[in-house]
Structure 1
Amino acid sequence: MNARSWWLIIAVGFGILLNPLNSSMVSVALPRLQDEFRLDFTVVSWIIFSFYIASAIAQPVMGKASDVFGRRRIFLAGLAVAFLASIFAPLSTNFGWLVVFRIVQSVGTSMMVAVGMAIVRVHMTKKQGTALSVLSIFLSGAAAIGPFVGGVLLHLWDWQGIFWINLPFVAASFALAWKTIPKDDTPASALSGRSLRQWMQQMDAAGILLFASGLIALLVGLLRLTSTGQASFFNVATGFAGLLLLAAFVRREFTVASPFIPLRTFAQYPAMTRVNIEFMLVNVLYYSIFFGLPSYLQLVRHVSEYHTGLLMLSLGLCSLLASPLAGRWIDRSGPRPALLLSSVLMTAGSLWIVLLDQASPVISVCIALAAFGIGNGLNNVGMQAALFASSPKEMIGVASGLFSTSRYMGTILSSLLISLVMGGTFSFGGFRILGAILAIIAVSLVALSWRGRSAAQLQKSS
C-alpha cells in the first residue's frame, strides 16, 4: 500500500474508534456521574441506554443514507456532529442535557462507523484484507482500552474529560479525511429525483419511530417501577404502551417492502436465527460485567477510578489476545468448539463472581475478568464465522445488519438487567445476584452452543 492509502486508513480509523471508545469509557464514570448529579443508579444508567439505542438506530439508517448522499459527506458530517457533542456535553448543567448530547454524540460516531469500512473497501483495491484488519484493531482496541482511558481521565480531570478527549481525534480525522477520501460521485439528480416521502419509505421512518418509542417507553416503565418500588398507573401504563408499540413494530416489519429490521429473515433461516440469539446472550453476559464491575469496584470496594481502569484493562487485553488465536483454531476446527469453550468460560466467570465476598482480594476480580475477556475474544471471531456459515451468500449483507442489531440488543438488555437487579443503589448483595443470573444465562448459552455443535457435526457427516 502507498502512503496515501495508509493515511486514508488512519483517517477512517481515528473516526470509527470514537464510537467504541465513548461507549466503553463511560463504564468507569458511572459512579462519578451519579454523585455529580445526585442520581440513583437506575437513572444514571440512561447514559448507557441512550447511547446504544441511538447507535442501534443510527448505524443502519446512516448506511442507507450514504447511498443517497454519499459516503464522504456522511463521514465528514459525522465528525462535525461528534465535535459539537464533545464540546457541549461537558457544559451540561443537568443530567437531562448530558443525555441529549450523549445521543447526539452516538449519532455522530455512528455515521462514521456506518460508512468507514465501506469507504476503505471501495477506494482501496489492493490489500483490502490488511486494511480492514487494521480498522478492526482501531475498533476492538478502542473498546478494550476505553475503561482504562476513562479511569485516567477521571483521575487527572473529571467526567468532562471523557468528552474532551474526542476533540484531537476528531480534528485529526477531519483533516486527513478531507484530503484523502475521494469526493462522492453521487450526482445531484440522485438527491432531487427522489421525493421526501419515497426517501422516508426507504428508510422505514415509521418503523424506526415505533422501535425507538416502544423501547424507550418499555425501559422507562420498567426502570421507574424498579426505582420507586411502586406499581403506579404511570409506570404500568408506560410499560404497557411500550409493549404495544413494539408489537406494532414487529407486525409492520413483516409487511413493508424495506423494513428497518428485516424480521422475515429470522423466520426463513433458523440456523442464522440461532446464531443471532447466541450473540445477543453473549453480549448480555459480557456487557453486564463490562458495566457492572467498575461500579462494584468503586462503590462497594472503594477502588479509585484510576485503579479500576487498570483492572478493567485485563478484560480488554485478554479479549484482544484471544482473538487471533481463536482465528487459527476456527480455521482448523470450525467455530463451534471455540463457542462452546467461550460459554463454559463465561459460566465459570459468573460463578466466580457469586463466590466472591467483601474480604476477597481485589486482584481476584481479574480471574473473572480474564474468563470473560478470553470468552469474548473467542466469540468475536467464532460468532462471525458461525454467521457466515449459517447465512446464504446472497443474504450476507442483511445478515451482517441483523448481527449488529443483536449486539446492540444484548448491550441494552445488559444495562436493563443491571438496573433491575440493583434498583436505586449498587450493592454487594445485588452484585452477587447479578452473578447468579449471569450464570443461568451462561449455562443456557452452553446448551445452545452444544446443540449448535451437534447440528454442525450432523450436517458435516451427512
Structure 2
Amino acid sequence: MKARSKWLMISVGLGMLLNPLNSSMVSVAIPRLQNVFQLDFTVISWIIFSFYIASAISNPVAGKASDLFGRRRIFLTGLMVSLAASLLAPLSPNFGWLIVFRIVQSIGTSMMISVGMAIIRIHIKESQATALSVLTIFQSGSAALGPFIGGFLIHWWDWPAIFFVNIPFVVASFLFSWRFIPGDEMPTSVASSMSLRKWLNLIDAPGILLFTLGLTPLLVGFMSVKSSGHFSLTYVMIGLIGLVILGAFIRHEFNTASPFIPLRTFAKYPEITWVNVEFMIVNVIFYALFFGIPSYLQTVRHVSEFDTGMLMLSLGLCSLVASPLAGRWIDKSGPRPALLTAATLMTLGSVWIVTLNPASSVIHVCLALAAFGISNGLNSVGMQAALFRSSPKEIIGVASGLFSTSRNLGAILSSLLIGIVIGGKFSFGGFRLLGVILAVIALSLVLMSWRRRKSGQLQKAGSHSN
C-alpha cells in the first residue's frame, strides 16, 4: 500500500473514532453526572439516548449532503462541529444545555462516520479490504477503550475532561485530512445552483422531519416506563403519536423519489435487511451491557471511575486482538462462522452476568467483559463483510448509511431497555434481570446465525451441483 494511502487511512480513522469514543466514554460518567446534576438514572440516560437518536438521523443526511457538497468538505465540516461541541459542553450551565451540546457533538461525529468509509472506498484502490479492516479497528477499538479512557479522565480531572480529550484528535485529523484527502471530483457548483426547494426535496427534508418527529416521542414514551410497571397516560399518548407519525414516514418513504431511508431497497435486496437486523440486535446486547456493567461496578460494588475504566479495559483489549484475527478468518471462511461464534460468546457472557452477585470477584466480571470484547471484534468485521458481500456496488453508499443507522438504533434500543428494566435508580436486581433478557436475545441471535449459515451452505452446495 502506498504511503499516501496509509496517511489517508490515518486521517480518516482519527476522525471516525470520535463517534464511538464519545458514545462509550460516557458509560463511566453516568454515576458522576447523577451526583453533579442531582438527577435519577432514567433522566441521566438521556446523555446516551440523545447521542444515538441524533446519530441515527445524521448518518444518512450527511451521506446525501456529501453527494451534493463533496465528501472532503463534509468531513472537514464535521471536524469543526465536533471541535465546537467539545469546547462548549464542559461550560454547560445545566443538564439541558449539556444534552444540546451532546447532540451537536453527535451530529459532527456522525458526519465523519458517514463520509469516511466512502472516502476510503473511492480513493484507495489497492488492498481495500485491509483499509476497511483498519477503519474497523479504529472504530471498534475506540469504542472498547472508551470506558478506560473515560474512567482515567474522570478520576483525575472530572467529567468535563471526556469532552476536552477530543480536541487533539480533532486537530490532528483536520490537519491530516486537509493535506491528504483529495478534492472531490464532482463540482460543488451543481449543488449551489439548486433552488432551496429542489435541494430540500433531494435530501428528503419531509422524510427527515417525519422520522425525527416520530422516533423522538415514541422513545420518550418508552423511556417513561419504570421497572415498577407503572405507566403514565400522558407518555402513552406521546408514544402513540410517535407511532402514527412513523407510519406516515413509512408511507412517505415508499412514495418519494429520493427517500431519506430507501425502504424499497430492503425489499429488493433481502440479504441487506437481514444483515441490518442482526447488526441492530448485536448492538442492543452489546451496548446494554456496555453501559450496564460500569453502573453495576460503581453503584453495587462501589468501584471508582478509574478502577472501573481499568476493568473495562479487558473488553477493549480483547476486541482489538479479535478484530485483525477476525479479518483473516473471514477472508478464508466467510463471515458466517465468525458471526455464529460471536453470537455464542454473547450468549455465554450474558448468562455469566446473571451469575454475578454483589460480592462476585473481579475475575468474574473480567471474564464476561472478555467474552463481549471478543464477540465485538468478530461482529465489527464480520457484519461489515456480510454487508459488502450482499450489497451491489451501485448501492454500497446507501447500504453503508443504513448499516450505521442500524448500529445507532441498536444503541437506542439498548438504552431504552436499560431505562425500562432498571428504572429511575440503578439496582442489582434490575441488572440481573437485564442479563436474563439479554441472554434470551443472544440465544435467538445464535439460532438465527446458525440457520443462515446452514442456508448459505445449502445454497452453495446447490450451485456447485448445478
Give the structure-1-normalised TM-score.
0.94
Aligned residue pairs total 462
Equivalent residue runs for 1:54-203 within 5 Å? 54-125=54-125, 128-187=128-187, 189-203=189-203
Q: 1:153 to 1:275 in 2, by over 3 A?
A: same
Q: RMSD of the TM alignment (CA)?
A: 2.1
Q: 1:380 to 1:184 in 2, by over 3 A?
A: closer
Equivalent residue runs for 1:292-331 within 5 Å? 292-331=292-331
Q: 1:4 to 1:303 in 2, by over 3 A?
A: same
User: What is the letter of the counterpart of residue 359 of structure 1?
Assistant: A
1:365 shift after superposition: 0.5
Instruction: Say whether the 8 Å CA contact 2:68–2:188 is kept in structure 1.
Output: no
Q: 1:151 to 1:75 in 2, by over 3 A?
A: same
User: 2:282: which partner in 1?
Assistant: 282
- 1:368 matches 2:365: no
Three-state SS of the structure 2 residue aligned to 1:225 is coil
Instruction: Say whether the 8 Å CA contact 2:350–2:438 is kept in structure 1.
Output: yes
Instruction: Say whether the 8 Å CA contact 1:42–1:419 is kept in structure 2.
Output: yes
Deviation per residue, 1:226-268 (Å, 9 max, x gap): 2896533321211111111111111211221111111122223
Deviation per residue, 1:52-77 (Å, 9 max, x gap): 11111112211211121122221222
1:3 shift after superposition: 5.4
User: 2:250: which partner in 1?
Assistant: 250
Three-state SS of the structure 2 residue aligned to 1:226 is coil
Equivalent residue runs for 1:200-215 within 5 Å? 200-215=200-215
User: 1:403: which partner in 2?
Assistant: 403
Task: Out of 85-94 and 259-268, give the one that drifted further.
Answer: 259-268
Task: Out of 246-255 and 37-46, give the one that drifted further.
Answer: 246-255
Q: 1:51 to 1:398 in 2, by over 3 A?
A: same
Task: Out of 371-380 and 152-161, give the one that drifted further.
Answer: 371-380
User: 1:459: which partner in 2?
Assistant: 459
Looking at structure 1, the residues matched to 326 and 70 of structure 2 have their Cα atoms a distance apart, in angstroms, of 36
Q: 1:426 to 1:108 in 2, by over 3 A?
A: same
User: 2:21: which partner in 1?
Assistant: 21
Task: Out of 133-142 and 38-47, give the one that drifted further.
Answer: 133-142
Deviation per residue, 1:193-249 (Å, 9 max, x gap): 311111111111111111112111011112223289653332121111111111111
Deviation per residue, 1:306-363 (Å, 9 max, x gap): 1111111111221221222223333333322222222121111111111111121122
Looking at structure 2, the residues matched to 277 and 183 of structure 1 have their Cα atoms a distance apart, in angstroms, of 35
1:271 shift after superposition: 3.1
Instruction: Say whether the 8 Å CA contact 1:42–1:227 is kept in structure 2.
Output: no
Task: Out of 200-209 and 334-343, give the one that drifted further.
Answer: 334-343
The answer for unaligned runs of 5 or more in structure 1 is none
Looking at structure 2, the residues matched to 132 and 4 of structure 1 have their Cα atoms a distance apart, in angstroms, of 16
Q: 1:393 to 1:126 in 2, by over 3 A?
A: closer
Looking at structure 1, the residues matched to 187 and 396 of structure 2 have their Cα atoms a distance apart, in angstroms, of 28
Give the structure-2-normalised TM-score.
0.93
Looking at structure 1, the residues matched to 347 and 129 of structure 2 have their Cα atoms a distance apart, in angstroms, of 34
User: What is the letter of the counterpart of residue 148 of structure 1?
Assistant: F
- 1:216 matches 2:216: yes
Q: 1:461 to 1:121 in 2, by over 3 A?
A: closer
Three-state SS of the structure 1 residue aligned to 2:226 is helix
Looking at structure 2, the residues matched to 333 and 126 of structure 1 have their Cα atoms a distance apart, in angstroms, of 22
Looking at structure 2, the residues matched to 384 and 121 of structure 1 have their Cα atoms a distance apart, in angstroms, of 13
Instruction: Say whether the 8 Å CA contact 2:343–2:375 is kept in structure 1.
Output: yes
1:427 shift after superposition: 0.6
Deviation per residue, 1:67-111 (Å, 9 max, x gap): 211222212221211111111100111111000000001111112
User: 1:441: which partner in 2?
Assistant: 441
User: What is the letter of the counterpart of residue 273 of structure 1?
Assistant: T
Task: Out of 451-460 and 432-441, give the one that drifted further.
Answer: 451-460
State the identity as a percent: 69
